[in-house]
Amino acid sequence: MQRGTTIVELTVAMAILAVVFAAVMPVFAVVRNHADAAGADSEMVQNARILNEQLYRHLAQAKRVTAMSGSTESDGHIEFEAADGVVRRCQLGSGCVEFGPVDDLCELAGPAESLQFTCYDGNDPAAQTDVAEHVRLVTWEARLDSAGTLAQDRTIRGACYLRVRTSTGSGETGATYDFATGRQGIDCFAFSGEGKPQVPTGMLTPARQLTSAQYNAIKVQDGNFYVVSVSSNSNYAQIRFIFQIAEDRARVSRLAATWRGRGVNANHLRTDGASLYVWNYTTAAYELLHASSDTDAVVALTGTRTVAPSRYIDPTGLKMITLLVVSNDKKTRGSNNRLYTDYVRLDVTTSGSGGILP
């Protein structure tokens, strides 16, 4: 004979369901919160990417900076004449970063809590300047607020050299090439590795190209190093840089290379430091530009070529210039031998009128 469900059974069933729901609901809450945080983080990454890409793209080809805020101002701004002649402005607006022509600003990224710009002198990349016409390096820092309840706010940073021709006061103009203004893997390249002899006899060694993240480490002088570590005894650390210039090869009157970094050999019987070379396309060999002393400190290696500088520019029409930096000594007894690169650049001086690079 069939019988109905008793009140006791219903009560027990409801109690079991309550226990199950009590156990399951926090799981759903965690999943929901994780999804919310992931979505907010993804939005912030997108905002950061858009902000940095816009500033990089326009500042890299800017003709000049026209105005900027102080480096300590958290509601900062910068104005510059872009490659198309339009004066653009980036600023912290009503809770977001705004960007565009000065009379037509649009929301670029946000919500944002702060935006700071720091500008540096073209003659001394380590010296800050508040004189607009002297600015060649611009760095920025923005604090983006998260739209998610559990996601954390994020601080993003960026930097860019203005790739402009500047007058030298003697009827000549100059241009700067580095990995902040160039197109990595397209018109500027870096290759690292190890080997012997210390200075390769050919210009295709080393041959392992840097990744995007590794390129980022050598874009600006910021103390963020790309490191070449030697794995085999008797080998030297090596890193090679190639810049494709826009100038007419026949009109180049001066080449100046700068590398900032350090060479560290852990074997105290060996020599620390690094040496900078440039490839001579006429002799098909590297020429020494500057060798550091026996030091494991950060140094700036520099060197110029003013006599027949066209010999150092690829004559095939690609107009490539190749630089090489090597450790001053080899790896021995299994001790670490490392070459640290912070920043590298090439300055090219030509005759003729100034203006934006093509």
Q: What is the mean pLDDT of residues 66-88?
A: 86
Is 136's pLDDT higher than 80? Answer: yes
The answer to whether position 21 is within a domain reads: no
SS3 75: strand
Q: Is residue 204 domain-shared with residue 291, that is, in the same domain?
A: yes
- Does residue 90 contact residue 76 with C-beta atoms inside 8 Å? no
- For tokens 């590297």, what's the residue? 286
Residue 155's contacts (CB-CB under 8 Å, 6 or more residues apart) are 141, 142, 143, 144
Is residue 58 situated within a structural domain? yes
Residues 190, 151 share a domain: no
Q: What is the pLDDT of residues 32-53, one digit of tens each?
A: 655 555 555 677 778 778 888 8
**Which residue, of 132, 162, 192, is where some domain finishes?**
162
pLDDT at residue number 292: 93
Higher pLDDT, residue 30 or 176: 176
Q: Is residue 12 part of a domain?
A: no
Amino acid identity of residue 250, one-letter, is: A
Query: 150 and 190: one domain?
Result: no
First-to-last CA distance in the chain? Answer: 96
- Whether residues 126 and 198 share a domain: the answer is no
Regarding whether 59 and 128 lie in a shared domain, the answer is yes
Residue 168 has a pLDDT of 47
> Which residue range forms the structural domain that includes residue 250?
172-356
State the average pLDDT over residues 143-157: 72
Same domain for 72 and 203, yes or no, is no
Q: Are residues 114 and 194 in the same domain?
A: no
Give domain status of residue 197, yes or no.
yes
| % of the chain exceeding 90 in pLDDT | 45
- 198 belongs to a structural domain: yes
Task: Assign 99 a pLDDT band (cuts: 50, 70, 90).
Answer: very high
> Which residue, 127, 162, 197, sits at the end of a domain?
162
Asked if 337 contacts 227 with a C-beta cutoff of 8 angstroms, the reply is no
Please state which of the ranges 136-145, 275-284, 337-346 shows the lowest mean pLDDT.
136-145
**What sign results for the dihedral spanned by CA atoms 200, 201, 202, 203?**
positive
Task: Indicate if the pLDDT at residue 298 is higher than 60.
Answer: yes
Structure confidence by residue, pLDDT tens digits, 187-222:
999 999 999 999 999 999 999 999 999 999 999 888
What SS3 state is found at 56? helix
Q: Does some domain include residue 64?
A: yes
The domain spanning residue 267 has which CATH number? 2.60.120.260
Domains identified in the chain, total number? 2
Tell me what pLDDT residue 37 has.
52
Q: List pLDDT tens digits, range 219-272.
A: 988 889 999 999 999 999 999 999 999 888 989 999 999 999 999 999 999 999
Encoded amino acid at 330, one letter = K
State whether 150 and 217 are in the same domain: no
* Predicted pLDDT at 351: 75
What pLDDT, on a 0 to 100 scale, did the predictor assign at position 31? 53
* pLDDT score, position 355: 36
User: Which of 73-82, 83-92, 158-167, 270-279 is most confident?
Assistant: 270-279
Q: For 156-183, how does the pLDDT look when each residue is reduced to its tens digit (9 = 90+)?
A: 888 888 876 554 455 677 888 999 888 9
| End position of a domain, from candidates 141, 162, 183 | 162
Average pLDDT over residues 313-323: 94
Same domain, 188 and 90: no
Q: Percentage of the chain with pLDDT > 70?
A: 85
Q: Note the pLDDT of residue 1.
A: 47
Residue 25 lies in a domain: no
Residue that wins the pLDDT comparison between 172 and 91: 91
Does residue 177 sit in helix, strand or coil?
A: strand
Q: What per-residue confidence (pLDDT) applies to 289? A: 93
**Structure confidence at residue 258 (pLDDT):** 92
Q: Tell me the backbone φ, ψ of residue 190, rounded to 5 degrees.
A: -140, 135
The C-alpha atoms of residue 342 and residue 166 are separated, in whole angstroms, by 25
pTM above 0.75, yes or no: no
For residue 123, pLDDT over 70 is answered with no
Query: What's the rounded Cα separation, in Å, for the pair 237 and 339?
Result: 6
The pLDDT of residue 120 is 87
User: Do 188 and 119 belong together in one domain?
Assistant: no
The DSSP bridge partners found for residue 92 are 97
- Residues 301 and 283 both lie in one domain: yes
Residues 158 and 183 in one domain: no
Are 53 and 45 spatial neighbours (Cβ–Cβ below 8 Å)? no
Judge whether 277 lies within some domain: yes
Confidence of residue 354 (pLDDT cuts 50, 70, 90): very low
Dump pLDDT digits (tens) for 102-115: 888 999 887 888 99
Q: What is the pLDDT of residue 195?
A: 96
